[in-house]
Amino acid sequence: MTSTLRRRPAQRRSVERVERMLDECALLLDEVGYEALTTKEVARRAEVPIGTFYQFFHDKQGLVRALARRNLEAFLQRVTERIAVADLEHWTDLVDLAIDEFVGMKRTTPGFAVVDFGEVLPTPGGSPVEGSKQALDGTHDNNTVVAERLRGLTVELLGAPAAPELDRALLVAVEATDAVLKLAFRADPAGDPALIDECKQLVRRYLAGHLA
């Protein structure tokens, strides 16, 4: 994957500075939105010199891409931790768990309503900012990257055979989930519960033909 950072922080102090900048970026996305977000304000609130910002990030877009990657890793970590303690009786429980974690992050994680896994949404559930559909690695669509990461969990946890058919099915499931959940958050800023339930049913029924 193409790096979102100009250079990776090596010392603890640098790691903490980068994390503060990402934290402030997320908060500002909720407060002022993507268009009004500036590198100067992120640096000021993170209490780092603007020169330090540019040591690690090329520009605002690079900062937001790094936040999207952090969001994806946090989502996968949350799903993995939930799986470790959950009593999953059927593979469909994994679908519900993953969707619930995503919805939970939409509702509570700073900046996630504007930038989740790469796409920049100026309005909840709205159309993404041009050029943000390949934010995670600069080459593939964000949903393709997400589907690939979920494939690893599916193969490991469910013992599903790794095959092109599974890859395709997971990509379709991720695309469908993305579309329906955008609709849910357009209908209700907190996510319309009925549409979230419809999303779960849609994905369960679709994947049944591949994972049953």
Question: Distance between CA atoms of 204 and 211, rounded to whole angstroms?
Answer: 10
pLDDT of 6 higher than 70: no
Interatomic CA distance for residues 133 and 65, integer angstroms: 11
Q: Give tens-digit pLDDT for 144-154.
A: 999 999 988 87
Looking at residue 5, what is its pLDDT? 63
pLDDT value at 156 more than 90: no
- CA separation for the pair 75, 188 (Å, rounded): 22
pLDDT at 44 over 90: yes
Amino acid 1: pLDDT: 34
Q: Name the more confident of 180 and 164.
A: 180
Q: Stretch 105-120: mean pLDDT, rounded?
A: 96
Q: Is the pLDDT of residue 162 over 80?
A: no
Looking at residues 4-11, what average pLDDT do you find?
Answer: 64
Q: Which two tokens stand for residue 201?
A: 């049913």
pTM of the model: 0.91
- Our measurement of the distance from residue 192's CA atom to the centroid of its chain's CA atoms, rounded to an integer in Å, reads 19
Nearest to 125 by CA among 74, 167, 200, 182: 182
Which H or E run includes 16?
A: helix 12-32
Q: Which residue has the tokens 């402030």?
A: 24
Q: Give the range with max mean pLDDT: 24-33, 136-145, 159-168, 203-212.
A: 24-33
